[in-house]
Structure 1
Amino acid sequence: MANRVSMYGILVALAFIASYIEVLIPFNFHVPGMKLGLANIIVLLAMYTGGLRAGITVSVIRIILVGFTFGNPYSAIYGLSGGILSFGVMAVLKRTDYFGIVGVSIAGGVTHNIGQLFCAMVLLNLPAVFSYLSYLMFIGVITGALMGIIGDEILKRIVKLKI
């Protein structure tokens, strides 16, 4: 139990640092709140080395911490809506063993954007936010693929963690 808790702590810290690095990178494509998704690399590593429970734990704790540290309660809500939806899709795809880590990551990137847009539509009562959907899907595919490739390369180089 102590080993699992300490590993979760390390993974959450790594994801938090990745999110902080992302805040420092001037990545602006004129879409509010758009990010690269660097922390998704850590969530993928947690999923593929420690299982789905490790992945969802790291993802949710990181989103809450980042939302309140670098944002506000609304950014935490948007992050959770995208994060939970994307994690659910990634978990289903991972279990099928049909998609590799890159495909799982791409699906996660796209569905994260869809979850956040749906949340914005509900909170703001503004269906027009879905006008960003095609653009965000394109960016989600690119960043998801990039994060998946990086995650795959890291997985090839580390010893499987026992979480």
Structure 2
Amino acid sequence: MINKIPYLGVFTAGAIILSYIETIIPFYFGIPGVKLGLTNIMILIILYLTGTKDAFLVSIVRIILTGFLFTNFYSLLYSLAGGIVSLIVMSLLKRTNRFSIIGVSVAGGIFHNAAQILIAIFVVETASIAYYLPILIISGVVTGMLIGILGKILVPRVRAVIVR
């Protein structure tokens, strides 16, 4: 890849569009706060194609822009916590070469939700909402698997297009 800046711009725009889609077409699973996390597919692709620094940059830019465009301060705070923690975990696991892209994505989904619960505990000033963590861990596993499967399919295809 000669100049990755245009690609990172496209991935950032794609992540913002996917975030907007999740905002206007809620995928309601009967559990408040559970989302598909479609934007994570873009972060996963960047993590595997160009590395942690680029994935971190796109993730932070996407979270801040979508926070100002589509949500409120608290959603922005939860997204930042979840995004940063999940990206750190995914990056560390990827670096070990012991996990598939699906495993990395599942871990990202779990830690994203765990970080959001920790922030919620501080915001509402009670640990009683920790009861919700098992539900969010299960949803992180399921959505992480779906995003990981998409990543397994898309990373080689996007790599082939970028390398041309």
Q: Same fold (TM over 0.5)?
A: yes
Instruction: Provide the C-alpha distance between the structure 1 equivalents of 2:145 and 2:109, rounded to a whole number of angstroms.
Output: 8
Confirm whether residue 11 of structure 1 aligns to residue 11 of structure 2: yes
Q: Report percent identity of matched pairs.
A: 45
* 1:68 paired residue number: 68
* 2:42 paired residue number: 42
Instruction: Provide the C-alpha distance between the structure 1 equivalents of 2:146 and 2:63, rounded to a whole number of angstroms.
Output: 20
Instruction: Provide the C-alpha distance between the structure 2 equivalents of 1:144 and 1:100, rounded to a whole number of angstroms.
Output: 12
The CA deviation at 1:155 is 1.3
Query: What's the C-alpha RMSD, in Å, of the aligned pairs?
Result: 1.6
Normalised TM-score (structure 1): 0.92
Confirm whether residue 94 of structure 1 aligns to residue 98 of structure 2: no
Instruction: Provide the C-alpha distance between the structure 1 equivalents of 2:92 and 2:102, rounded to a whole number of angstroms.
Output: 14
* 2:33 paired residue number: 33
Indicate the larger mover: 152-161 or 109-118: 152-161
Counterpart of 1:159 in 2: which secondary structure? helix
The CA deviation at 1:74 is 1.3
Normalised TM-score (structure 2): 0.92
The CA deviation at 1:156 is 2.5
The CA deviation at 1:30 is 4.0
Cα distance per residue 1:115-158 (max 9 Å; x no partner): 00000101110211111111111111000000000111011322
Return the letter of the residue paired with 1:16: I
Instruction: Provide the C-alpha distance between the structure 2 equivalents of 1:18 and 1:37, rounded to a whole number of angstroms.
Output: 9
Cα distance per residue 1:28-84 (max 9 Å; x no partner): 234433211100000000000011111111111111111111101111111000111
Task: Give the paired residue count.
Answer: 161
Instruction: Provide the C-alpha distance between the structure 1 equivalents of 2:34 and 2:62, rounded to a whole number of angstroms.
Output: 17
Give 1:71-86 correspondences, 5 Å limit.
Answer: 71-86=71-86
